[in-house]
Structure 1
Amino acid sequence: MRAIAAACLLAPVGAWAHAPESPAAGPSWTAWNTQPWLLFLLAVSLLFYAAGLLRLWRHAGAGHGIPVRQAASFAAGWLALVAALVSPLDAMGSLLFSAHMVQHEMLMIVAAPLLVLGRPLAAWTWALPAVYRMRLPALVRSRSLAWAWDAITQPVSAWALHAIALWAWHAPQLFEAALRSEGLHVLQHASFFVTALLFWWAVLGPDARSRRAGLAMVLLFTTMMHTGALGALLALAPTPWYPPYVDAAVALGIDPVQDQQLGGLVMWVPGSVAYLVVGLQVIANLLGRRAKAMA
């Protein structure tokens, strides 16, 4: 079930990839991405969640099992996916490096944590017919699946996979290869999103509640530092790292170096703020639990 649920989240991410193109070719940079199969996958993921949520609430009572705030988190995360993959931001990402960075950040620090908070695994499980729900515990407890899940969701593993994906794909050779190959671009987006889901699962998922808050703070702080460092390198670089974006930026009357600097700042500043905000919330939750325990 975990594999099926992950596929429902991941499929839309790989649905659209593109190399930089000239704005002179037409008004496509303002167009919405309305590929039928992308819209279908997004719709299925949302409808499946809604069906499971309603069935759970009929069984346990409205707001029980998955509170309203968690359902709202999933909805917000789903809308962030739509904004990243369907809105004109996707087309702008084919012209400007800065727009491409906004798209990546939407996937990694907006959609991913909100989706994790929305508890999609629980909702999608309840969307299944009762006969399949009864069989899930045995499947989940299977040794191979449990081992694989534990291996990729352990905090250090999730942190490392996310860090490797970020730094590897921003190497100029790999980044340019992804811009020129639809398959590699799909893999790039999927890598960012998958590893972000794993990272946020380690920080915010159900298993995180049984761990010390200090571990979550270490994960958040170190990720803020290394992603900020990558953003700073991009923002302070005196020359463009990714030549395919140069011509498109010039055609739009934008300095390619400034476009790259803006993209680096997007990763550096808003990204750091997101990790900081979550870190403060983790501390607030810890203090709240201690206050209740002492009351």
Structure 2
Amino acid sequence: MSFDAFFSTSICYGAGAPEVGWTIALPITFPLAAIALLYAMGAVRLWRRSAQGRPLRIRQALLFAAGWAVLTGALVSPIHALGERIFTAHMAEHELLMAVAAPLLVAACPAAVLIWALPAALRRGMRKFTRGSVLQALWRFASRPLNATIIHGIAIWIWHIPVLFEAALRHGVPHYAQHASFLGTALLFWWVLLPRLGRQQAYGSAVMHLFVTSLHTGLLGVLLLLSPKLWYPQNAAGAGLWNLSPLEDQQLAGLVMWVPAGLVYGGAALLLAGLWIRTSATREARDALRAV
């Protein structure tokens, strides 16, 4: 087996029909299975350790399961294999990673559960490692809302440069590097912006960065939609499977990036704006009562 084949093994249904196959690639299936196992182990330990907060942990577990299911569906189901031949499927896969799986996983707050799955000695070692000055400085820099938005935006735009995009289609390592950068920067982006317990939320900043992200991803989608030439001819090889011309496939992919993804970012911005207004009204009412 070649090196690239190791990264792109598929189980197909029907000879000559890899477009409907399930992708069973060890660099993808092993981390997915390991994360699910670790989460289950940590959740059981926390459940046995304390009865407090169980309703919250159940909600978080459901969010994690939903995010993990979407992530697995995007990377293992026939969507992935289709994405190597049909640009629209490829775009749908990317949006599932960045705009659906990532916010669900972040909303689940899985870090504590995953850490509790580890042995005590390893937990202590990780605590010391994460407290290192260099790592702390890098994290403070990356986790600023503006920086997280820029990092996520760079990952989206740079991988849509034709030479890089088509390199990711031809070779396994760049392909999974592309997915890892999309998912990793999306997790950072949503972690910084979504509200969570124990942190004072800057709703105004989060709304602005979500709105900006909606704008620039929508712009990329519009460029794909309106372009008179193909950006990635190699990714349009199977457009006929959906009775589309290669250019129509690109236009549909641009529409997917523009509208559904834009609705996610825009909807999240509206939700946070509502929370911002409600929080401000509650604070004003509390301040008014104190002044009486």
- Structure-1-length-normalised TM-score: 0.85
For residues 29-40 of structure 1, the aligned pairs below 5 Å read 29-35=19-25, 38-40=28-30
Cα drift, residue 130 of structure 1: 2.8
CA contact (8 A) 1:57 1:65 kept: no
Give the direction of change, closer, same or farther, for the CA distance of 1:52–1:155 in structure 2 (3 Å limit). same
Instruction: Count residues in correspondence.
Output: 276
Partner deviation per Cα, 1:96-153 (whole Å, 9 max, x = no partner)? 0000000000100011111111112111111122343345443332212211222222
Aligned match of 2:252 in 262, 265, 268? 262
Matched, 1:53 2:43: yes
- Secondary structure at 2:141 match in 1: helix
Rounded to whole Å, the distance in 2 between the matches of 1:204 and 1:156 is 14
TM-aligned CA distance change 1:64 to 1:133, over 3 Å: farther
Measured on the aligned residues, the alpha-carbon RMSD in Å equals: 2.5
**Separation in 1 of the partners of 2:264 and 2:249?**
22
Question: Quick check: 1:30–1:92 contact (8 Å CA) kept in 2?
Answer: yes
Amino acid at match of 1:264: G
- For CA contacts below 8 A with separation 6 or more, give which structure has more relative contact order: 1
Residue 289 of structure 1 and its aligned partner are, at CA, apart by 3.2
The reply to whether residue 126 of structure 1 matches residue 123 of structure 2 is: no
Paired with 1:158 and 1:228, the residues of 2 have a C-alpha distance of: 18
Shift of 1:290: 3.9
Moved more, 54-63 or 202-211: 202-211
Answer yes or no: is 1:274 the counterpart of 2:250.
Answer: no
Query: Where does structure 1 lack aligned partners over 5 or more consecutive residues?
Result: 1-14, 19-23
SS at match of 1:244: helix
Q: Does 1:144 align with 2:139?
A: no
Q: Distance in 2 between matches of 1:138 and 1:65?
A: 31
Change (3 A) 1:174 1:25: farther
Cα offset for 1:179? Answer: 1.5
The answer to whether structure 1 residue 75 and structure 2 residue 61 are counterparts is no
Q: Distance in 1 between matches of 2:135 and 2:123?
A: 17
Q: Which residue of 2 aligns with 1:187?
A: 177
Are residues 1:84 and 2:71 paired? no
Assess if the C-alpha contact under 8 Å between 1:66 and 1:119 holds in 2. no
SS where residue 119 of structure 1 aligns? coil
Aligned with 2:232: secondary structure? coil
Gaps of at least 5 residues in structure 2 are 1-5, 287-292
Q: What residue number does 1:199 align with?
A: 189
- In the alignment, the residues of structure 1 paired with residue 31 and residue 53 of structure 2 have an alpha-carbon distance, to the nearest angstrom, of 26
In the other structure, the counterpart of 1:12 is none
Instruction: Compute the TM-score of the two structures, normalised by the length of structure 2.
Output: 0.86
* 2:275 maps to 1:285: yes
CA offsets, 1:71-104, max 9 Å, x none? 2111111001111011110111111000000000
Counterpart amino acid of residue 225 in structure 2 = A
Q: Say which SS state the counterpart of residue 238 (structure 1) adopts.
A: coil
> Aligned pair in 2 of structure 1 residues 284, 181: CA closer, same or farther (>3 Å)?
same
Percentage of identical aligned residues: 44
